[in-house]
A and B are shown apart, each in its own frame.
Chain A
């Protein structure tokens, strides 16, 4: 199976550890992982902020870069949801673009979907002896409908104690450019989210999206809570050797 990693621009630039974790995890599970170097960004920020033309250019670039792979794996529920759900709305039905999107988009998987639905793995052989709580980010929860896939994976990690997050399904307040366009509401939402996280007594907050974790984590650090954030991929890639 020819698997392409779509690392996403945020991970590529700010969280390379997440991309490395996906590579090591997928190779451990026997996948042949490729990183098409021409990849850049799915275009979500542009489209969702009202810059449709720029976003559509990036969507086109994406479909060209990832055509021809059996599967494209993204460690981001948000970017995977962008490709699968929003790309078709950017083009005219019946156009070349629509055909290109119809070809590529169904092969784009968020990491936990790929592990559970394609590789049929719930136990990925990880070891992570910490108390962890999981925030199901909005686009994973209500966009991709990942359901309990991520937590099933976490429950199979040896040593890991998974504690439920109160108000888990509520948005953390990141929302892309919303975080800077409506900073007061965004911060108020983050405050409620971090209170819930601290109530769990977890050492680590895990999610399938580093952009949300950047917002929640930035707030947790500012509040000096001592709770750290980790992408799902990084926990699943952890072994006894780490």
Chain B
């Protein structure tokens, strides 16, 4: 049973400090993220209209989000017309209760699952387990995570932190049918997983999925995948339950065309993914339930800056280019959504009440690589900065920033502070600063404080004779509205 991130203690800097010392993790992550990153860059580079596609993706998502209520109702109507049942879930508890009741009604105690971020977000597997229902992940990487009692650490490649010898160990330990001669050769590992899963597919009467997209005009759901496990789950069982975030909606099939170009190239770095499954309502002999999940999304939608995070199509391109993610790994973020998108999504969905969630907006150097690769142009640095303004700050930091702001708001005060620093320059230790600044000197020398600031040099050498600058009244209008 995979574990849930909800209520995880600690904070990002501490989690990351442990992760950076793990050489195996660093090696695995560097290799994996750079491989996918390069593949993405090459398939994106071959499309001359990538920026237009990106702008279209952004515009379609923004339009849908602005008219979400209308399109959601249209979706509900279309799914119902096609023989499906639509359920509305305000939060994780409600969604889990709906799904648990639906599974219980079938009398089954086992379900197979298609890889789904939404069900991980709400901790569905754990909720089902409490009612004696076993949920089996069928995506290979999710299976590795589940069998290893582990946390996912990447949106697309949940077991990215594992290498093949670790995977072999997990399989030997947790798959009773597997031969002790199993090697760590990827085809051998895949074959072992295939055999393990095949039996589950054939036995299970209930499947649970998410969806990459929902098309409002026809009530169609779309799942993109690579392994074919999704196709099995979506077609074999008698009952299919799909839990989908309300932001996954697209108005029409024409809109889907844009995203079928954006998503595979951004996520796996493929021109097209191997399996794209689409279904509308229930087919004969099967039952279909759609659980529309809010779980904080309408609150995010109300935030003018933060709402752009709802454009996310979970491609994980931002993870693969993020220098912080590459070194800290996914677990440090304490959420099913790690990396840059997680740093803006988790604090918005869960709030910043815990120490961990409040530390996430600061888990970025604001280098902007994430924004560059985002297929729906989410300005992640902009949202991070906005969240930082809403995050709680330590009292000492607040005081320090206030003083700094006071000094910097007046050039004479700044000049005085600079002269004081110059006087004390010999006393500043190069290798050990006090208090929180020791975080700097733990690994970096301090630059030498110069004998004279630039402004004093300018003044002393008479270069300021032409110095005009603004008039005094120009600078003193600070009380007026700006």
Closest chain A residue to B450, Cβ basis: A16
B365 contact from A189, A214, A222, Cβ within 8 A: A189
- Interface flags for B223-264 (1: CB within 8 Å of A; 0: not) read 000000000000000000000000000000000000000000
The reply to whether the CB of B443 lies closer than 8 angstroms to some CB of chain A is: yes
- Chain B residues with CB under 8 A of A226: none
Docked-complex contact A57 and B409, CB < 8 angstroms: yes
- Chain B residues with CB under 8 A of A187: 20, 442-444
Decide yes or no: A138 and B469 within 8 Å by CB, A188-B20, A219-B443 being known contacts: no
Decide yes or no: A40 and B482 within 8 Å by CB, A20-B454, A35-B467, A185-B328 being known contacts: no
The reply to whether the CB of A117 lies closer than 8 angstroms to some CB of chain B is: no
- Chain B residues with CB under 8 A of A96: 480-482
Question: Which of A119-127, A157-165, A172-180 faces chain B?
Answer: A172-180
Docked-complex contact B437 and A218, CB < 8 angstroms: no
Decide yes or no: A38 and B469 within 8 Å by CB, A11-B454, A23-B463, A184-B16 being known contacts: yes
Docked-complex contact A38 and B372, CB < 8 angstroms: no
B401 contact from A11, A46, A180, A217, Cβ within 8 A: A46
Q: List 23 A-B contacts (CB under 8 A).
A: A14-B447, A14-B449, A16-B457, A32-B466, A34-B468, A39-B469, A47-B385, A48-B366, A49-B388, A49-B397, A50-B388, A57-B409, A60-B482, A86-B385, A91-B482, A138-B366, A142-B369, A173-B323, A181-B362, A181-B439, A184-B13, A185-B328, A189-B365
- Interface flags for B108-129 (1: CB within 8 Å of A; 0: not) read 0000000000000000000000
- Chain B residues with CB under 8 A of A131: none
B367 contact from A54, A64, A171, A177, Cβ within 8 A: A171
The smallest C-beta distance from B480 to any residue of chain A, in angstroms, reads: 7
Docked-complex contact B365 and A54, CB < 8 angstroms: no
The reply to whether the CB of A239 lies closer than 8 angstroms to some CB of chain B is: no
- Chain A residues with CB under 8 A of B436: 180
A142 contact from B368, B439, B459, Cβ within 8 A: B368
Docked-complex contact B364 and A51, CB < 8 angstroms: no
Docked-complex contact B470 and A175, CB < 8 angstroms: no
Q: How far is the CA of A217 from the CA of B390 in the complex (A)?
A: 33
Docked-complex contact B442 and A182, CB < 8 angstroms: no
- Interface size bracket, A side: 35 or more
Closest chain A residue to B482, Cβ basis: A97
The reply to whether the CB of A106 lies closer than 8 angstroms to some CB of chain B is: no
Docked-complex contact A175 and B382, CB < 8 angstroms: no
Q: How far is the CA of A221 from the CA of B441 in the complex (A)?
A: 11
Q: Report the 8 A-B pairs with minimum CB-CB distance, sorted nearest first.
A: A175-B365, A218-B444, A50-B388, A54-B405, A171-B367, A184-B17, A36-B469, A19-B454
Closest chain B residue to A42, Cβ basis: B408
- Interface flags for A94-122 (1: CB within 8 Å of B; 0: not) read 01110010000000000000000000000
Docked-complex contact B447 and A217, CB < 8 angstroms: yes
The smallest C-beta distance from A178 to any residue of chain B, in angstroms, reads: 5
The smallest C-beta distance from A172 to any residue of chain B, in angstroms, reads: 8
List residues of B (294-343) whose CB comes within 8 Å of A's CBs.
Answer: 323-324, 327-328
Residues of B at the A interface (CB closer than 8 Å) are 12-13, 16-17, 20, 26, 323-324, 327-328, 361-369, 371-372, 382, 385, 388-391, 393, 397, 401-402, 404-405, 408-411, 414, 418, 421, 431, 436-437, 439-440, 442-447, 449-450, 452-455, 457-459, 463-464, 466-470, 474-475, 477-478, 480-482
Closest chain B residue to A12, Cβ basis: B454
Docked-complex contact B454 and A39, CB < 8 angstroms: no
Decide yes or no: A139 and B444 within 8 Å by CB, A37-B464, A57-B405 being known contacts: no
The reply to whether the CB of A190 lies closer than 8 angstroms to some CB of chain B is: yes
Docked-complex contact A40 and B410, CB < 8 angstroms: yes
Decide yes or no: A180 and B445 within 8 Å by CB, A20-B454, A32-B466, A188-B20 being known contacts: no
The reply to whether the CB of A70 lies closer than 8 angstroms to some CB of chain B is: no
The reply to whether the CB of A215 lies closer than 8 angstroms to some CB of chain B is: yes
Docked-complex contact A65 and B13, CB < 8 angstroms: no
The reply to whether the CB of A67 lies closer than 8 angstroms to some CB of chain B is: yes
- Chain A residues with CB under 8 A of B405: 46, 51, 54-55, 57-58
Closest chain B residue to A36, Cβ basis: B469
- Chain A residues with CB under 8 A of B463: 23, 35
- Chain A residues with CB under 8 A of B477: 64
